[in-house]
Amino acid sequence: MPIRYATLHQFKIFDAVARHMSFARAAEELHLTPPALSIQVKQLADAIGQPVFDQIGKKIYLTPAGEALMSASQDILDRLERLAQELAALQGLEKGRLKLATLSTAKYFIPRLLGDFCAKHHGVETSLFVGNRGILLERLARNQDDLYILGQPPAHMNVIAEPFSDNPLVVLARPDHPLVSEKNIDPSRLRDVPFILREPGSGTRLATEEFFERHSVALKTRMEFGSNEAVKQVVASGLGVAVLSASTIGAELATGELALLDVQGFPLERKWYAVYPVGKQLTPVARAFLEYLFATAPAHWLALSRALAVSSGSICPTTLP
């Protein structure tokens, strides 16, 4: 069977299997049985005239033909999705889907912004994936979502990164920490202070390590965690200090569980970015959400920064955006 007779159903099935590298997980996503998927993938491979998967032990891997087919499948399915949205737009309808993936650090404000966007566009279906930086970069490499919210764009990937809001990093401690009452603390004073860090590869950790390396300060790592909540809990228990995004700590500052340290060079000026692969054609819905971020997120952060300054007392409002 020539490739021109391959069906969209087969491309969709192959795409799911290739993304998950598992017939079982793809079957769960598509609500089909693994044998049914296997038959369709075999027929597609027959049409190509080459195997698309190698099976080694219990794992499957894409062959060179499979990698080419995966790229083509994504192009076909993405183009069909854009066509559906373009046709809906021509009819004056608000329809379409938005697949958003965000860092766990941004979960403190992105869901609210997404909810407000959906309230203005009732016909849009949305999905939100929340994960750490490593998982998001894997999804970005596979082009699994429309947009990715990151605090530090990947330097090794060919992407477009559009900044839409400030994302300053601050130094946290328990309120009774000896340094809380001090002002303009030199970074060298933190050389022997235990640090609670995010996991290796985290954008927050990378920025923290780069800052202290520039000041010739070797961090004394006490613990590391894969979530902001765990870091905050350990800092609140008095086991060390930490550097986190200011967007994650409003509640703890308001209740007095945490306090800010006035360290020279902080807050670290960073941005939140909407990221997508170079060459990706954004759907009308994705473009509309991107424009909504540009218009709304800065005002959201301004309100948050004022709340942080008022609740903290250890940082002047003019030092935040």
Confidence of residue 167 (pLDDT cuts 50, 70, 90): confident
Let me know whether 295 and 156 are in one domain. Answer: yes
Per-residue model confidence (pLDDT) at position 119:
85
Whether residue 202 is contained in a domain is answered as yes
Confidence of residue 237 (pLDDT cuts 50, 70, 90): very high
How many domains would you assign to the chain? 3
* Coil vs helix vs strand at 277: strand
- When the pLDDT of each residue in the chain is averaged and rounded to a whole number, the result is 85
Confidence of residue 246 (pLDDT cuts 50, 70, 90): confident
Instruction: Specify the residue for token string 């429309």.
Output: 146
Strands lying side by side in the sheet with 169-173: 242-245, 169-173, 259-260
CATH number of the domain to which 252 belongs: 3.40.190.10
Whether residue 315 is contained in a domain is answered as no
Q: Which residues pair with 145 in a beta bridge?
A: none
Confidence of residue 118 (pLDDT cuts 50, 70, 90): confident
Let me know whether 173 and 245 are in one domain. Answer: yes
Average pLDDT over residues 143-170: 90
Let me know whether 159 and 297 are in one domain. Answer: yes
User: Cα–Cα distances in Å, from 286 out to 11, 23, 141, 283?
Assistant: 23, 29, 18, 5
Residues 117 and 158: their CA atoms lie apart, in Å, by 28
Average pLDDT over residues 161-174: 91
Model confidence at 302: pLDDT above 60: no
Whether residue 58 is contained in a domain is answered as yes
Per-residue model confidence (pLDDT) at position 310:
47
Let me know whether 161 and 276 are in one domain. Answer: yes
Q: How many CB atoms lie within 10 A of CB 134?
A: 12
* Coil vs helix vs strand at 284: helix
Average pLDDT over residues 24-44: 90
Per-residue model confidence (pLDDT) at position 241:
95
Whether residue 124 is contained in a domain is answered as yes
CB within 8 A of 133, min separation 6: which ones? 103, 150, 152, 201, 202, 203
Let me know whether 181 and 224 are in one domain. Answer: yes
Per-residue model confidence (pLDDT) at position 57:
86
Whether residue 318 is contained in a domain is answered as no
* 5 vs 101: which has the higher pLDDT: 101
pTM of the model: 0.64
Q: Which amino acid is at 207?
A: A
DSSP assignment of 31-96 = T--HHHHHHHHHHHHHHHTS-SEEEETTEEEE-HHHHHHHHHHHHHHHHHHHHHHHHHHHTT---E
Q: Which residues pair with 223 in a beta bridge?
A: 196
Let me know whether 178 and 261 are in one domain. Answer: yes
Let me know whether 186 and 257 are in one domain. Answer: yes
Let me know whether 162 and 279 are in one domain. Answer: yes
Domain end position, chosen among 221, 248, 268: 268
User: Cα–Cα distances in Å, from 301 out to 110, 232, 295, 319?
Assistant: 11, 20, 12, 13
Whether residue 134 is contained in a domain is answered as yes
Range of the domain at 139: 97-166+272-304
* Coil vs helix vs strand at 8: helix
Let me know whether 47 and 179 are in one domain. Answer: no
Whether residue 222 is contained in a domain is answered as yes
Whether residue 312 is contained in a domain is answered as no
Q: H/E element holding 162?
A: strand 159-166
Model confidence at 193: pLDDT above 80: yes
Let me know whether 144 and 115 are in one domain. Answer: yes
